[in-house]
Amino acid sequence: MSKKQHFIWGTLLLTGASFLSRIMGFSFRIFLSRIFTEEQIGLYQLIFPIYALCFSFTSAGIELAVSRSVAREISLRKKDRANMFFYTGLACSLVFSIVIMKLLQKNASLISIYILGDMRCEAFIHALSCALPFASIHSCICGYYLGMKQAKITAYSQLIEQGIRVLFTILACQIAPDIIYAVHGIALGEFFSAL
């Protein structure tokens, strides 16, 4: 397969996976809106800026750096150095995510009261903080495989993450409807996509 065909195939695969993931997310939000009240959905949505900020601190730039460094080293036929960049990025990201996870857990009540303005978010912050280490692992692995020009791994992991999150939440809410299961679903989705 030529470089141009490889690029087009990878782009189509990632676009398709992203589209399917968005459709699953859209359907999932409809499910949540039918099961839970507006207030519960609002509490669920309230924690996402905190998660996005923490993810930015722990993984966002590292994934790009890993991808770029791995691609450069692979083009120079230096797979050992590519692996070194991956492991270095993974170690940094994992350390950052564990530190941020512990800070979130220790200060969950303060964040809930003073930043989010609702004490009920404390349990959500605790649950969501557990997703950060797995999200950092997943992010670095995706960066590595994108650098290796193997988009299928990234595409499949994206679908696995979304699928597990949706499936777990739907099953858990059939047993005991509670919005906290949607937050646990995020952590479980990240765990399985990291695997």
Q: pLDDT tens-digit profile of 16-32?
A: 888 898 898 888 888 88
pLDDT at 12: 83
What does the block give as tokens for 11? 């782009």
Q: Cα–Cα–Cα angle for 87, 97, 185, nearest 5°?
A: 110
Sign of CA dihedral 126, 167, 28, 194: positive
pLDDT at 7: 72
- Count of residues for the chain? 195
pTM of the model: 0.86
pLDDT band at 1 (very low <50, low <70, confident <90, very high): low
Please answer whether residues 109 and 55 qualify as being in contact, where contact means their C-beta atoms are separated by less than 8 angstroms: no
Sign of CA dihedral 85, 59, 130, 155: negative
pLDDT band at 189 (very low <50, low <70, confident <90, very high): confident
Please answer whether residues 181 and 162 qualify as being in contact, where contact means their C-beta atoms are separated by less than 8 angstroms: no
Please answer whether residues 144 and 66 qualify as being in contact, where contact means their C-beta atoms are separated by less than 8 angstroms: yes
